[in-house]
Structure 1
């Protein structure tokens, strides 16, 4: 009997021969699962905020500070983790991110001893998330193309990474909230479940192939971003104006909408829960469409996402002026769509424009700008002390129009010429 199916498959990729074993042609999936579980571990804390306030007596300022220290760990990890993975490889950084996410959950189990374990855990969770989003996102892209995956369509890596990242951000609060409300030991069980799920993943990810081979790793030391003006210019021209709206749309949909719709009364908590489900759910479901909208000939995917965010803001403004909670939930759905479209569109642009030695770095830059949007609910709440909510939303519409104009003006500029030629054929 022939054993050809068990043999290795040597293939050429960018001028080098790489041996691909049949079992590794779906290697992208465990790498993408690492994004989901790290995101899960980071976001489940959000659903436990009420528990910490009620059971441990933590003040609002204390809880808000725990959210803030997460960002303190996240941003440097995004900026440095991607660049470091370009220079040293993706796998060991992804493994470290999973392990650090587990350590963060171990620390947060110590909430009965006070706030220090929670602060330490949140800081570690921020670092783990930043490293995973920068390194593992690039890894999924590389494992979704030849020679590791010869059947995927162009752009599959961005869609897969975005989908699993969004799924993790959604599953974390949902599962954590269910366990905190209906299961025993709410201060322990959500974190313990996450750790249990991560243990087998560590062993699986450790067996995946490294996509940045030794001969390539030296490139990142010698070819800085300035030597690739097309990627730098297109990033600044079309990706940077769109990136903050990735999470600005999401947080507006599930945090701002429930806070600004008038007349909800005692139903505001239930309304907020529904807004979260609609926003995050549609953010995941819309992502296959985002891939179909993408083209190498323009920034159509990012323009569509930013336009959708503008429509969401207009719908929210109408809901505020009309005192219409149902219309507010429609706005949440539109914001969720904008979040999914922009997440996939931004990653597709980056993965198309970036050379192998700068993919992680540009991915880190993209997510750093995207996380600026997480400040939206805080900014809205701060401005609401002096400005009416309807005028704040109108101001956001003006900013969104500015982003739309910048993307439209630069949509066909600084395109990767070799891909344009292939697409034109």
Structure 2
């Protein structure tokens, strides 16, 4: 007696309305983990006695690993699919969390930080593309802002929570990274049950050749956004990588909570701005955002010069709002003009520019601080942010006028 075989059922997956915010939360977890070492590295510097240059390297090696992963694997999810690449990133992040948890020397922390950067680099383009593709049709405009908010909000909350753990617990390192290990395990389970949003394409091995993918139609817009990215990403790097030693040596404050709070203000403000600015035209968001970055760094430099911490915190909020608005605006200016198979490669190019600005100036500042002194070095760092922001304002204002002229010509009979 023959038995009728029923067609195989597709594996169960989360619906898009759940996968869209869920992936954003998982993506934010990567950056929560990236912000977590900020107060811990400052604490370890006091305990282990390593130099300012080593501290800046321990901070920036994350971005270097991230850049390497972006350049090599930024387009990989365009070929293998989003879900496999997101899972590779999560398993690598899980290993880095375990390495942080057991690290007993600065060398091991640097290795863990490098692994974390590689994991986040693998995740960045795949998660950005997946979030955009999982977004319901009426939420597509929100996707860019949500991705940017995930980055910024995760960095800020990670620094704040870890700062509180440093202040109030006996072993903050073990507590924070044990919890994050559990979070990454849950994230692996969640991502395993999300739907694949892009078909597999040949050429995965060839895509590992380091290159930036910039379709001709977005190159001018990408170039116009470079000073915005420089100013925007140098701003949070100031608080995450350079400010904790300044708090201790210049402001005579060495508590973990104050370091975490100072690092939290800017990125968290950026996360809020990324969502609020998403309701407004992208060009306006970029222009207003980079203007706020300029105002913010002026307030920060005033606070540093006068030892007025409240001014520094006000500047952190202003600059953070500007960072969120400008970066989200830049994503929304470019995203509508790329094809689905180009998304991962283009996002890797955007984040390559962003993380060069996030890492290289910090490394240079760490090398110069013993020669110039900490305060003069950070003042020079702030002047570079001011210059980049001023250029960004000029360029974005010119692009806004060009956009208006183009629209005026288009409506002429």
Structure 2 length-normalised TM: 0.80
How many equivalent pairs are there?
Answer: 390
**Aligned equivalents of 1:320 and 1:41: distance in 2?**
28
Match of 1:281 in 2: 268
Match of 1:410 in 2: 399
Cα deviation 1:211-230 (Å, max 9, x = unaligned): 1124xx359989x9889421
Cα deviation 1:72-109 (Å, max 9, x = unaligned): 31101122332111222111111111111011111223
Is residue 349 of structure 2 the alignment partner of residue 362 of structure 1? no
Cα deviation 1:336-373 (Å, max 9, x = unaligned): 11111123112212322221111111111111211233
Q: Which moved more, 1:245-254 or 1:315-324?
A: 315-324
**Aligned equivalents of 2:273 and 2:398: distance in 1?**
26
Is residue 202 of structure 2 the alignment partner of residue 211 of structure 1? no
Match of 1:130 in 2: 121
Report the aligned-residue RMSD: 3.8
Task: Specify which structure has the bigger relative contact order, considering alpha-carbon pairs within 8 angstroms and separated by 6 or more residues.
Answer: 2
CA contact (8 A) 1:245 1:309 kept: yes
Cα deviation 1:291-313 (Å, max 9, x = unaligned): 12224xxx222122111112223
SS in structure 2 opposite 1:74?
Answer: helix
**Aligned equivalents of 1:413 and 1:219: distance in 2?**
39
**Aligned equivalents of 1:104 and 1:97: distance in 2?**
11
The structure richer in helix per residue is: 2
Q: Deviation at 1:138?
A: 1.2
Quick one: structure 1 residues 356 and 107, their matched pair in 2 at CA, closer, same or farther if it must change by over 3 Å? same
CA contact (8 A) 2:146 2:275 kept: no
**Aligned equivalents of 2:244 and 2:54: distance in 1?**
23
Structure 1 length-normalised TM: 0.78
CA contact (8 A) 1:231 1:414 kept: no
Quick one: structure 1 residues 79 and 412, their matched pair in 2 at CA, closer, same or farther if it must change by over 3 Å? farther
Given candidates 373, 378, 400, the residue that maps to 2:389 is 400
CA contact (8 A) 1:162 1:343 kept: yes
CA contact (8 A) 2:294 2:389 kept: yes
Cα deviation 1:108-161 (Å, max 9, x = unaligned): 23323x4554333222111011111111111101111xxxx24x3331111221
**Aligned equivalents of 2:83 and 2:323: distance in 1?**
28
Match of 2:92 in 1: 100
Match of 1:39 in 2: 31
Match of 1:293 in 2: 280
Matches within 5 A, 1:262-411: 265-267=251-253, 272-295=259-282, 299-319=283-303, 324-374=308-358, 375-379=360-364, 382=368, 385=372, 393-394=382-383, 396-411=385-400
Q: Deviation at 1:165?
A: 2.3
Is residue 63 of structure 2 the alignment partner of residue 74 of structure 1? no
Quick one: structure 1 residues 377 and 332, their matched pair in 2 at CA, closer, same or farther if it must change by over 3 Å? farther
Match of 1:5 in 2: none
Cα deviation 1:315-348 (Å, max 9, x = unaligned): 3455456664433322121111111112311221
**Aligned equivalents of 1:414 and 1:88: distance in 2?**
37
SS in structure 1 opposite 2:325?
Answer: helix
CA contact (8 A) 1:107 1:118 kept: yes
Is residue 237 of structure 2 the alignment partner of residue 251 of structure 1? yes
**Aligned equivalents of 1:185 and 1:317: distance in 2?**
34
